[in-house]
Structure 1
Amino acid sequence: MTDTALKSPASLKGNGNPSPVGGTDRPILKQFGPGLITGAADDDPSGITTYSQAGAQFGFNLLWLMLLTYPLMSAIQMISGRIGRVTGCGLAANLRAVWPNPLVLFLVGLLFIANTINIGANLSAMGASAELATGLPSVPVTILFAALSLLLQMFVPYHRYASYLKWLTMVLLSYVAVLFVVKIDWMAALKGFVMPSMTANVDTFTVIVAILGTTISPYLFFWQTSQEVEEMEEKEGAQPLRRAPRQAKRELRRIRIDTFAGMAVSNLVAIAIIMSTAATLHTSGKTEIATAADVAEALKPIAGNFAFALFSVGIIGTAMLSIPVLAGSAAYAAAECCGWAGSLERKPAEAIGFYSVIAAATVLGLAMEFMPIDPIRALFWSAVINGFVAVPIMAGMMTVVSRHAQMKQFTARPLLVVVGWAATAAMAAAAIAMLIYR
């Protein structure tokens, strides 16, 4: 297979005059990018709700699951980044080399539906949190947040926008800070990591499945792959590693550091949320959570105004971080399938189809605020869609990263392949369980 056959719309701009980009002396903070943003976006309000439900319902007893998900999600996201940087094109373009085009289009269509539902839920959570914190009516605030997110994506160039997203990940520290505000039984928490007390029943398994679906989501695969392509396009002299193997040592090292750090941030925040809600809501007997905003409201009388404020700020910040990832991942996938120009670095007039998908996902998500749709039910079906979409996508990714025709000498090492297939098997089991146990 030639490089041209794999060329994605985002990669048709050229890379400028080639110049050496090797070396490994880059400051550690400069190596954070797509992996960090992807990991932070994983903790969106939908994820916050899932982790809060785990803590409220089971106390500290599901903390062990976060130790299990870390290597699985790290492996699959590292594979996503590796595919993008080696081939120079996005995930959908690579999947079309191993799956029939109609199947890839079908999966991308389901991805768009699931992402739109998540965008709607995240916008709603932002509006509700802002209303709780400020007293302002939620609907106008929700519309304002949706418009702000859309305008930033459309009119701020990628290289500047990406730096905003990196700084926005700092808002996740608010959830870690909550741990120092509430009273934690640290011995009970430690036991939850190594010797949990659990009953094997439908309720337990449902939450476990929900956590797996929250931490390993298809939109994250597409986003990180495409962001590696965007990052490459912005570096003078950078080329796909299959054509410029001398750049590989530095770039693959950066991807590893970036991804491990991003997934560590994601899991650290999840652990903080589980522990905070276990120490407050579970202890006080509140075991049912409907939305992320409900968690913030429930924390106020139990843990005080400061914990309430931290949780509310976190919800708004993580939603602002995750909405462009949700909308952007669908747009990248659609552009690659349809042959459109697709890049956040381009102006809207230069990538009409790409930005139309971003606008459609955001506007339709906002429209859910005005429809008679149960948001919790919608999120459940979004999780079901994601669960079933993830399996063939992950299987395709594992095929791509193991194919010499696409990856040349940069096919994945055996350990990464084993852990990647383990993550795929875990998602397949979760998808089946979603149907059996609901």
Structure 2
Amino acid sequence: MMADTEAGSVITAAQSGAQWGYRLLLLQFLLVPLMFMAQELTVRLGLCTGKGYVELIRQRFGRVMAAITATVLLISCFGALLTQMSGLVGAGSLFAIPGWVILLMLVVFILGMVLTGSYRSVERVTLALGLFGLAFVAMAIKSRPDMSRLLHDIARMPLDNPDYLYLMAANLGTSVMPWTVFYQQSALIDKGLDATHLPIARADTLMGAVFCQVLTAAIVIAAAATLGGHPAGLDSIAQIGEAFGALIGPAWGKLVFAIGLAGGALVATIVVCLSAVWAVGEALGVRHSLEQHPLDAPWFYGPFALLLIGGAVLVGSGVNLIRLSIAVGVLNALLIPLILLFLFWLAYRALPTEHRLRGRYAQVVAVIFTLTSALGLYAGLGGALGW
């Protein structure tokens, strides 16, 4: 859940505040129940079946559908990986650090951590890095938002405006991302947990969802207060860094912003790489675990390294960071219906009877998932095509 506040989320939230003031703020809190519902089902599936998302699809629907699902996840993961790396390069640019230096350090750091440590050691490092996102809360407080304007904007949602819809889809796609749904299920299995851990895992997920959206809302508030009035949007991460940096001070401000952005991006980089290779392993039915030695699980560590290095090479070629990040979010929003459909079906049919999704709660989840899927398609297609 902390990986949800990644570089793409930060950039999308900042663009939302700069372009639309506080008009996308309410959406951040409306997404909390949806995020919890989706991730809680992955918790149930992981702890109560001991199998990953793609593995369950392979067993229930066959290898072809598992391959299709894994491909969707890989597309989402690779897009997210490019976003994280671009965000880190952008953060480094605030201090005139060459992009290739950032990318080389990133590849060496992550490969070294993954190849030499177990899942628990990787998790501890990523959790520590993710806590730097609290810097955005401090920035929101320092921005001293105009409460009358905030209350005026928060209830105004111009759903007939294509630009607004496009950013709404991006916000949705950077909150409920296919790779986060997949990652949590596989990560719980890799930890060796079971159904006895279900209550604490649910509480952990709820806290994560709230924590994530508080940080995202803080970014929207800070951006609206400092960058509001940019109808054309932002052009670079440097714009965000300089504006946010001014809230704390010219020297420390940029550093705090860069640390907050880099913390989430590093967490997400590790998560998306693991999600991608776990998806490949589950689709192929081969060994895949951080607890295994690299020589014992070449199909796990090999694709992990190739994905990381390939992403670094592509980002090093030069891309528009802002447009890329928002486009990846919109892509995720368009993929949401497929991911939520399978998630609901597996929770309804694949779980043991005592943990199966059923009753009124199943009906509520079905309605929320349907409305979310419809909104993702409407906002994504409407915004992209200018409806």
Structure 2: distance between partners of 1:222 and 1:115? 10
**How many correspondences in the alignment?**
382
Q: Match for 2:260: what amino acid?
A: G
In structure 2, the residue matched to 1:205 is 165
Within-5 A mapping of 1:261-272: 261-272=207-218
1:79 matched to 2:24: no
- Identify if the C-alpha distance between structure 1 residues 308 and 200 changes in structure 2 by more than 3 Å, giving closer, same or farther: farther
* Amino acid in the other structure paired with 1:41: A
The superposition leaves residues 176-232 of structure 1 with CA deviations (integer Å, 9 ceiling, x where unpaired) of 111232222234334544x3364731111111111111101000011100111122x
Cα distance in 2 between the residues matched to 1:221 and 1:258: 15
Shift of residue 336 of structure 1? 0.8
Structure 1 counterpart of 2:199: 253
Q: Is structure 2 residue 136 aligned with structure 1 residue 175? A: yes
Preserved CA contact (<8 Å) 1:222 1:329: yes
Per-residue CA shift, 1:249-284, capped at 9, x if unaligned? xx221122101100001100010000000000005x
Please state whether the residue corresponding to 2:141 is helix, strand or coil.
coil
With over 3 angstroms needed to count, the CA separation of the structure-2 counterparts of 1:64 and 1:372, relative to structure 1, is: closer
> What's the TM-score, normalizing by structure 2?
0.91
Match of 1:278 in 2: 224
Aligned to 2:86: 124
Q: What SS does structure 1 have at the residue aligned with 2:289? A: coil
Cα RMSD between the aligned structures? 2.3
Mapped pair 1:166 → 2:127? yes
Unmatched segments (≥5 aa) in structure 1 = 1-38, 242-246
More displaced, 385-394 or 361-370?
A: 385-394
- 8 A Cα contact 1:90 1:222, kept in partner: yes
Q: Does 1:414 align with 2:376?
A: no
Deviation per residue, 1:347-400 (Å, 9 max, x gap): 211211011221122111101123365445544553454334332221111111
Identity value in percent: 24
Quote the Cα distance in structure 2 between the aligned partners of 1:434 and 1:345. Answer: 39
Query: Which deviates the most, 45-54 or 345-354?
Result: 345-354
Secondary structure of 1:179's match?
A: helix
CA distance in 2, matches of 1:413, 1:291: 47
1:115 and 1:361 in contact (8 A); partners too: no
Q: Could you tell me how far apart the structure 1 residues matched to 2:370 and 2:130 are?
A: 27
Q: Please give the residue correspondences for 1:52-131 in structure 2 after superposition, counting only pairs within 5 Å.
A: 52-131=14-93
Of 355-364 and 39-48, more deviation after overlay is shown by: 355-364
Asked if 1 retains the 8 angstrom alpha-carbon contact of 2:237 and 2:321, the reply is no
Deviation at 1:162, TM superposition (A): 1.4
Taking structure 1 as reference, are residues 132 and 203 closer, same or farther at Cα in structure 2, changes over 3 Å only?
Answer: same
Conservation of the 8 A alpha-carbon contact between 1:121 and 1:365:
no
Structure-1 separation of matches of 2:373 and 2:115: 33
Q: Output the amino acid matched with 2:8.
A: S
Query: Could you tell me which residue of structure 2 aligns to residue 149 of structure 1?
Result: 110
Alignment of 1:221 onto 2:167 = no
Q: Which AA in structure 2 matches 1:359?
A: A
2:125 and 2:248 mapped to 1: Cα distance? 31
Greater Rg by CA: 1
Shift of 1:145: 1.5
Match of 1:391 among 306, 318, 337: 337
Alpha-carbon separation, structure 1, partners of 2:360 and 2:258: 40
Shift of 1:432: 4.4
Alignment-derived partner of residue 316 in structure 1: 262
Residues 1:48 and 2:10 are matched in the alignment = yes
User: What is the aligned counterpart of 1:360 among 298, 306, 311?
Assistant: 306
Structure 2 residue identity aligned to 1:103: M
